[in-house]
Chains A and B, each alone.
Chain A
Amino acid sequence: MPVVVLGMSHHSSPVTVRERFAFSEARIPSALQTIRESGIADEAVILSTCNRVEIYAATSLELRKAFAELQEFLVRVHDYRDPLTDEIYKLSEPESIEHLFKVASGLDSMVLGETEILGQLKKAYDLALQYNHTGSRLNKAFQRAFNVAKHIRTETNIQRGSVSVASVAVELAEKIFSSLGERQVMVIGAGDTSEKAARALLSRGAHSVIVSNRSHDRAVALAAELGGRAVHFEEWATEFANIDIVISSTSAPHYVLDRAKLEPLMKLRRNRPLLLIDIAVPRDIEPEVNFLENVYLYNVDDLQAIADDYLRQRKDEIARCNEIIRERAKNLMDARAHPSALPGSDPAFSHK
């Protein structure tokens, strides 16, 4: 009884299609029940995230029939009436097992190597397990997938580094300051990326945030969202003595902060390190300030270059990860084919 996968992801279909096939968490147990009761599969797990909808099933049906019935189920349950061509992929062993391992390891994700998917996969599996829709096949396959994901995370660089501008900003802060716990963040200009960077810093323990924007109402709103406080745009410099990290993204056509303005402010700060993140285009901060001692200025290109380098490194690791996955998938299937021949094999995986 092989494990098969039928589904769609950001690789195969646009969001306009994926969203129509998405399962809410509440609907999944009954959907799994239907799959099993209709005899399509003996065991099943449904993974439904913003980037993928997949059914993992252990079926005793002939493969072509199993895939046809699973697709028919998927279309019927979502009342989808448009034609489907390449949007849905159908994988049988060993590709299905390798695909599961790749998904768990973040290798199939939109952001290569991201870890959120592992949590989502665990949740999907737990839900199926809770309602007794899994058996020895899927239990073993999923447990092994979690194990492979952990192995890949620790043994390769696939999850190393940040691949977004906001998270690179956080990493830089962590390379400058001993602890983010006492750091005050100032957001000048309430743009989307600066908000993300501020949120990322707060989530990593930054002490507090001050928001300053030409539109004070917008500053107040963002400050309320971030749990900080707003200051009037004309007064942001007065707060500077206590600030450690500045994220600037105004739409000003000129420099908001230049060397002449910053130099005396640094003395007030007793030369504590200052991280300046300039995400604005045109730039808000004069590049010359980077020559001041204890000042570290990064503009959006610098951050993007670091994020791109990280991504390049992650891509370089793909071949290594695939090799690990192929080997682990083969081990799993060998153990199933010869339950007593291989050490650590699970008799539950033997042919029924």
Chain B
Amino acid sequence: VSWLTDRQWFSIAVILYGLSATYSIFLLRKQFREDNRINYFLLLVAFGFHTIAMFVRGLSLNRCPINNLYEATTFVAWTMVAAYLAMGLWSRLRFLGAFASPLLFAIGVFALLTPKDVGLVKPEFTGGGLTLHVALFALAYGAFGLSSVAGLMYLTQERDLKMHKLRAVLSFMPPIQRLELVTGRLLLSGFALLSAALIASALFLHQQDGVLFSGDFKILWSIFVWALYLGLIIMRWKFWQGGRRFAWGTVCAFAFVLLTFWGSSLMSPLHRP
């Protein structure tokens, strides 16, 4: 696998995510009545190239490749695809792919466009604690990403049912109650991982001289994101605000994460890429 660089392998994966996103438009035009196996296969192959890309990068750096924004972004996308492929084994949930692939393509393009892919810069923190820190955050955002995808699917299907659209009954999409369940479970998983990431960071990463740890913008941002998702959980399970509001909540929360992730990293001396 050495004849291509990790970025080239990843570029192939992104092209396949793009193809999958294009095929998703076709599925949408067909009112989700076509078989979704082609999309699943495209994402499976893309996942293979994506994995090779991460493997090549890990080998070249001799560490887990999740230490800068490019690596973290690609890892988030990788966890999303892995989770989708696992869930997609259940045919009724395979349509998550049609909604996930445009997001994966966007994340992939974003990662490739980042000019700051400085993989060889020595991180401020080293060792297993750092790897655990980044891996847990990436897994958490991967789960939140898929949760928002399931939420988007819910909103599409729910709207079609409300508007009495024929495709609501024609499509192969799962019932909205199951979509809500999947959205909720993914969000809970993401929240547990995010909590674990914050706790692990506090326990295993120790402050270095000259670095303002407690007031770091990214840390405050992460705590805000944690509180945001906690709010959604309370809204859902304490006040029974399920359905559309909850789905919108998951979509908006993840949109906030996507839109502010880069900016919050720039404003953080600890996380600046």
Q: What is A's interface to B at a CB cutoff of 8 Å?
A: 160-161, 168, 171-172, 174-178, 270-273, 290, 293-294, 296, 298, 302, 305-306, 309
Contact = CB atoms under 8 A, between A and B. Distances in A.
Interface stretch (B36-44, B67-75, B168-176, B194-202): B168-176
B166 A306 contact: yes
B161 interface: yes
Contact of A271 (B161, B164, B241): B241
Interface string B167-204: 01110010111100100000000000000000000000
Contacts of A161: 169-170
B169 A271 contact: no
A176 B245 contact: no
B194 to A, nearest CB: 26
Contacts of A271: 240-243
B243 A175 contact: no
A160 B169 CA distance: 11
A175 B241 CA distance: 20
The prevalent SS among residues of B at the interface is: helix
B169 A168 contact: yes
Nearest to A172: B169
Given A172-B161, A302-B164, A273 B241 contact: no
A160 B171 CA distance: 11
A209 to B, nearest CB: 20
Contact of B176 (A171, A175, A290, A302): A175
Interface string B119-150: 00000000000000000000000000000000
Contacts, number: 52
Interface of B: 157, 161-162, 164, 166, 168-170, 173, 175-178, 181, 240-245
Nearest to B179: A178
Contacts of B157: 175
A171 B243 contact: no
Contacts of A177: 175, 177
Nearest to A267: B240
B240 A175 contact: no
A296 B161 contact: yes
Contacts of A171: 169
Contact of B243 (A290, A293, A302, A306): A293
Contacts of A174: 175
A175 B164 contact: no
A290 B163 CA distance: 9
A178 B178 contact: yes
A286 to B, nearest CB: 15
Contact of A273 (B168, B170, B240, B243): B243
B242 A294 contact: yes
Given A293-B244, A302-B164, A176 B169 contact: no
A266 to B, nearest CB: 10
A320 to B, nearest CB: 15
The 8 closest A-B pairs by CB, nearest first: A270-B240, A178-B178, A178-B177, A294-B243, A302-B164, A309-B166, A171-B169, A271-B240
A175 B32 CA distance: 14
A160 B34 CA distance: 13
Nearest to B240: A270
B250 to A, nearest CB: 16
A175 B168 contact: yes
Contact of B161 (A176, A270, A293, A305): A176
A213 B245 CA distance: 35
Nearest to A177: B177
Contacts of B241: 271
A168 to B, nearest CB: 7
Contacts of A290: 162
A263 to B, nearest CB: 14
